[in-house]
């Protein structure tokens, strides 16, 4: 795995670099927002570790700009700011996961693997739900003939819903697929992600395709 590490704290960056390198990963380190964005645009990395506070800008703005440029590389955001509103801000900016400092190194590694993994054996197939079309191989998503742009984490959530269409799925099953088995299914990150996906898929259109089943989870598909 080739990881882009955008972190201006030289000591922390060195520790992360050393630990990931010892696990056989390749790490590219940069310490400012402008260089980080240019490296992300290159598209040569499998995952990005992105600090929030950076010289020349912040991680939120950097991530948002990368997503505007259609950069789909998974992003794990790091920050000492652990308030709910900060995590929500990070996810809304296009990050795929958010890890608060200080953190345990094994958790960082587990989250990286979860972000970088890809479902095996996808076949070339298109699923339709009314005017929504989802191609499970190419990851193309269209509604009413209009392309819907998703982040990698939004795609994983949609893919899980599509593969379980018509079935009520609980929070634990969703979070284990979208993040990993160690993700806390009681955190509100799932609600944030579902809300983002709803906005992109529906955009005022009816019917709603993601139904919240109180006390049980979610069901995807036309009512």
The answer to whether residues 6 and 37 belong to one domain is yes
Pairing outcome for strands 97-100 and 75-79 = parallel
Distance CA 143, CA 202 (A): 8
The answer to whether residues 14 and 106 belong to one domain is yes
Average pLDDT, whole number, for the chain?
85
Q: For residue 129, is pLDDT > 80? A: yes
pLDDT digits (tens, 9 = 90+) for 152-204: 889 989 988 988 888 888 888 888 778 765 566 567 888 999 999 999 998 77
33 — pLDDT class (breaks 50, 70, 90)? very high
The answer to whether residues 83 and 51 belong to one domain is yes
Task: Give residue 58's domain range.
Answer: 2-116
Q: Is residue 121 part of a domain?
A: no
The answer to whether residues 13 and 111 belong to one domain is yes
The answer to whether residues 11 and 104 belong to one domain is yes
Single out the residue in 116, 137, 158 at which a domain terminates.
Answer: 116
* Length of the chain (residues): 223
Burial class (CB in 10 A: 0-12, 13-18, 19+), 145: exposed
CATH of the domain at 165: 1.10.10.10
The answer to whether residues 96 and 131 belong to one domain is no
Domain count across the chain: 2
The answer to whether residues 154 and 94 belong to one domain is no
Q: Is residue 87 part of a domain?
A: yes
pTM recorded for the entire structure:
0.57
Distance CA 138, CA 136 (A): 6
Query: pLDDT: is 85 or 66 the higher one?
Result: 66
The answer to whether residues 147 and 111 belong to one domain is no
Q: For residue 43, is pLDDT > 90? A: no
Distance CA 104, CA 150 (A): 29
**Tokens 């958010």 found at:** 98
Distance CA 214, CA 211 (A): 9
Mean pLDDT confidence for 33-57: 89
At residue 211, the pLDDT reads 92
219 — pLDDT class (breaks 50, 70, 90)? very high
The answer to whether residues 70 and 166 belong to one domain is no
CATH of the domain at 103: 3.40.50.2300
Single out the residue in 52, 81, 116 at which a domain terminates.
Answer: 116
């Amino acid at each position: 795995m080739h990881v882009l590490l955008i972190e201006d704290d030289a000591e922390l960056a060195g520790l992360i670099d050393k630990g990931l390198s010892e696990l056989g990963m390749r790490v590219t380190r940069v310490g400012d927002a402008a260089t980080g964005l240019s490296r992300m645009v290159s598209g040569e990395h499998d995952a990005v570790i992105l600090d929030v506070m950076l010289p020349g800008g912040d991680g939120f703005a950097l991530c948002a700009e990368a997503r505007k440029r259609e950069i789909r590389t998974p992003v794990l955001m790091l920050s000492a700011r652990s308030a709910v509103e900060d995590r929500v801000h990070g996810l809304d900016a296009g990050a795929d996961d958010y890890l608060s400092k200080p953190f345990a190194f094994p958790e960082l590694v587990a989250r990286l693997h979860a972000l970088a993994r890809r479902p095996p054996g996808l076949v070339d197939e298109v699923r339709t739900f009314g005017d929504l079309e989802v191609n499970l191989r190419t990851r193309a998503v269209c509604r009413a003939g209009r392309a819907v742009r998703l982040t990698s984490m939004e795609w994983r959530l949609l893919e899980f819903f599509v593969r379980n269409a018509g079935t009520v799925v609980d929070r634990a099953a969703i979070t284990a697929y979208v993040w990993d088995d160690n993700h806390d299914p009681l955190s509100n990150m799932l609600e944030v992600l579902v809300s983002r996906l709803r906005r992109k898929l529906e955009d005022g259109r009816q019917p709603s395709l993601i139904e919240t089943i109180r006390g049980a989870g979610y069901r995807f598909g036309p009512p």
